[in-house]
Amino acid sequence: MMDAKYLTPQQIVAELDKYIIGQHEAKRNVAIALRNRWRRMNTKSDIQGEIVPNNILMIGATGVGKTEIARRLARIADAPFVKVEASKFTEVGYVGRDVESMVRDLVEQSVNLVKARKKEEVKEKAAQAVEDIILDALIPPVKQHSRPTGFSQNENNSQDPPENDVELNERTRSHFREKIRRGELDDRKIEINIKGGSGSNVGMVGAGMMDEVSMMNLQEMLNGMMPKKSKKRKVTVEEARRILLEEEAAKLIDMDEVKDEAIRRAEDAGIIFIDEIDKIASGARKGGGGPDVSREGVQRDLLPIVEGSTVNTKHGIIKTDHVLFIAAGAFHISKPSDLIPELQGRFPIRVELNNLTREDFISILKEPKNALTKQYQALFEAEGVEINFTSDALDEIAQTAFTINAEVENIGARRLQTVMSRLLNEFLFDVPDKIGPNARIVVNAEMVKEKLNGLVKNRDLSEFIL
């Protein structure tokens, strides 16, 4: 699953640097954790099964990059990744979700990843089959029946097509096959059979008495008993190619093999990111009762999953012993020590993320591949308008965002989105009615001050409070 070309910790940090500014300590720790998966898989000794991942607890205010680090990490690793919010599990049995559902979501994600890769592998073969189906719909083949031995040449001669008809049909089909490949017939309409699912999904009445897995298995079994319907549809060749490619690729994939590989992949490389873990900490404990009991209950439900347990999913049984758990929280009201000791012990690596400075804001506007300035430039470019930001304008935007964060509510880098939106909304509204294509907009410090500075001076910041 993991080859020798797997990224080194320094390469992982370099990749994260393309999207996330600062937070070097957090990046280093997640890079080590990710590389350790490869190291464990390549351990020769019997101890391989005993090497457990060092789960990470990230502590920092909102908008400093906790979630982004985990999300980018999963993309770099091409690993199954699930993000859940711990507060979703509050009051289980009333409004919350079963804690094991996050592991089932991880397996589902893993199945999708493996299936996508397998589809890519059989793409060429599937495309060939699709081409044949489309060709048969356009020019049905004329086949010459082979006669039994001793069959007279003149007997029932009229039942077989003449040789020249078969040859003509073959030549026509060959000519049309070339046209299909060149895309010349993409707008031609043809009639194809599309396999649907069973008539309808069976609703589960009184499902509240069953657990999630039993309900899914029963629903799948009932749907499997329903006859599969196929219907004829008239579509363009281009649309037929897209619909049929999915069907033909699915036929070439062994789903049992996909499930087995997906379970292994989720076990060895899966990452579960538990956000807002501070919301289930008890805070300053003032005796029992109230919501604190529920919060501690969620922590106790989480504990066996993080420690390593066996979870039953519709694709098979998965062990969570080697799944990497990354938890994150702002911990404004509570402290990490307010979590139950057993759960604290399961997150041995603690990383504090720094609050963003004015200089960080400037870097966030300029450097990342997905920087806000680049996003807005792409939006204006779609209308044929060029927009540029001067260096002093970026300084002014960063200063404004930093000031508002300091004086109202610190929401980190997300503040830049509200500031940029306020700054550019007028232009976005005027394009393309008042500002036509080929126009050029230059955003400078004066313009930024004119549109934003008055708000800061008057403390009229209500629209910036999320």
For the segment 416-449, what is each residue's pLDDT rounded down to a tens digit?
998 999 899 999 999 888 888 889 999 999 999 8
Q: Say if residue 317 carries a ligand binding annotation.
A: no
Residue 141 CB partners (closer than 8 Å, separation 6+): 169, 173
Work out the angle at residue 251's Cα, subtended by the Cα atoms of residues 248 and 253, and round it to the nearest 5 degrees: 115
Q: What is the pLDDT at residue 220?
A: 67
Say what angle helices 372-381 and 358-366 make with each other, to 10 degrees: 30
Asked whether 308 and 272 are in contact (CB, 8 A), the reply is no
How many whole angstroms from its chain centre is CA 265?
Answer: 16
Q: Say if residue 206 carries a ligand binding annotation.
A: no
Q: Say if residue 314 carries a ligand binding annotation.
A: no
Q: What is the pLDDT at residue 151?
A: 44
d(CA 65, CA 21): 8
Q: Say if residue 65 carries a ligand binding annotation.
A: yes
Q: Identify which of 409, 356, 327 has the alpha carbon closest to the alpha carbon of residue 21.
A: 356
The β-bridge partners of 193 are 232
Asked whether 299 and 340 are in contact (CB, 8 A), the reply is yes
Q: What is the pLDDT at residue 90?
A: 61
d(CA 360, CA 20): 10
Q: Where are the domains of the chain?
A: 9-117+262-352, 128-150+158-252, 358-457
Q: Is the pTM of this model over 0.85?
A: no
Helix (H, G, I), strand (E, B) or coil at 348: coil
Q: How do residues 378-414 score in pLDDT, each as one tens digit?
A: 999 999 999 999 999 999 999 999 988 888 778 888 8
Q: How do residues 102-124 score in pLDDT, each as one tens digit?
A: 999 999 999 999 999 998 899 88
| Pairing of the two strands 386-389 and 440-443 | parallel
How many whole angstroms from its chain centre is CA 167?
Answer: 51
Q: Say if residue 342 carries a ligand binding annotation.
A: yes
Do the two domains 9-117+262-352 and 358-457 of this chain adopt the same fold? no
The β-bridge partners of 275 are 85
Q: How do residues 229-269 score in pLDDT, each as one tens digit?
A: 677 878 888 888 888 888 888 888 999 999 999 999 999 99
Up-side HSE of residue 25: CA atoms within 13 Å toward CB? Answer: 12
Q: Quick one: DSSP state of residue 62?
A: T
Structure tokens at 59: 């502590």
| Terminal-residue alpha carbon distance, the chain | 43
pLDDT band at 6 (very low <50, low <70, confident <90, very high): confident
Q: Say if residue 64 carries a ligand binding annotation.
A: yes
Q: Say if residue 239 carries a ligand binding annotation.
A: no
d(CA 294, CA 390): 52
Q: Say if residue 182 carries a ligand binding annotation.
A: no
Mean pLDDT, rounded, for 179-194: 81
Residue 261 CB partners (closer than 8 Å, separation 6+): 114
CATH number, domain 358-457, options 3.40.50.300, 3.90.640.10, 1.10.10.10, 1.10.8.60: 1.10.8.60
d(CA 429, CA 432): 8
Q: 216: part of which helix (H) or strand (E)?
A: helix 212-225
Structure tokens at 398: 């960063």
For the domain covering 9-117+262-352, report its CATH number: 3.40.50.300
Asked whether 463 and 422 are in contact (CB, 8 A), the reply is yes
d(CA 35, CA 10): 10
